[in-house]
Amino acid sequence: MSDGDLVLIVEDNEKNMKLARDLLQYAGMRTLEATSAEDGIAIAVREHPDIVLMDIQLPGMDGIAALRKLREDDRTSGIPIVALTASVMQADRDRFEAAGFDAFMQKPVEVRTFAAEVRRLSAKGRNR
Ligand code: MN
């Protein structure tokens, strides 16, 4: 298990965090967790995960601002970052894409496909 993809989950909802963590670990991936953007950025700099799953609505700094910080920093600019969003609105999806997320995933996550999708996005890497 120790060589599985390292996934940083930034999510302030405890139930969402637990589900994501359980699904990824069950699939052999390693997880890091942050419940705020600030903590997520610090962990990303320190641990250099293979991929970041970023909630948008967070206490304090939101996920879009966190994305910008991670992109500005040479230590984290190459890490694929996926927006986790409960929104199904196209305008929001367009906004996330314009902000520079590599992909987005819908919450609640699809239990059967979530881990495989995270692995695929991790292997694919940055969009540009
Ligand atoms: Mn949230």
Cα of 94 from ligand 1 centre, angstroms: 19
- Which strands make up the sheet holding 81-85, listed edge to edge? 30-34, 6-10, 51-55, 81-85, 103-106
Cα of 55 from ligand 1 centre, angstroms: 6
Res 2: pLDDT: 54
Cα of 12 from ligand 1 centre, angstroms: 5
Q: For residue 37, give the 3-state DSSP assignment.
A: helix
Report the predicted TM-score, pTM, of the whole model to 2 decimal places: 0.95
Res 127: pLDDT: 72
Q: Return residues with CB closer than 5 A to ligand 1 (ion).
A: 12, 55, 57
**Radius of gyration, CA atoms only, the chain:** 13
Hey, what domains does the chain have and what are their CATH numbers? 6-126 (3.40.50.2300)
Res 70: pLDDT: 98
Cis ω for the linkage preceding 108 (within 30 of 0): yes
pLDDT along the chain (128 residues), means of 10: 84 97 98 98 98 97 98 97 92 92 94 97 86
Please say whether the beta carbons of 26 and 3 come within 8 A: no
> Which structure tokens are listed for 19?
């589900």
Please say whether the beta carbons of 67 and 44 come within 8 A: no
Res 128: pLDDT: 57
Cα of 88 from ligand 1 centre, angstroms: 15
Cα of 26 from ligand 1 centre, angstroms: 23
Cα of 119 from ligand 1 centre, angstroms: 22
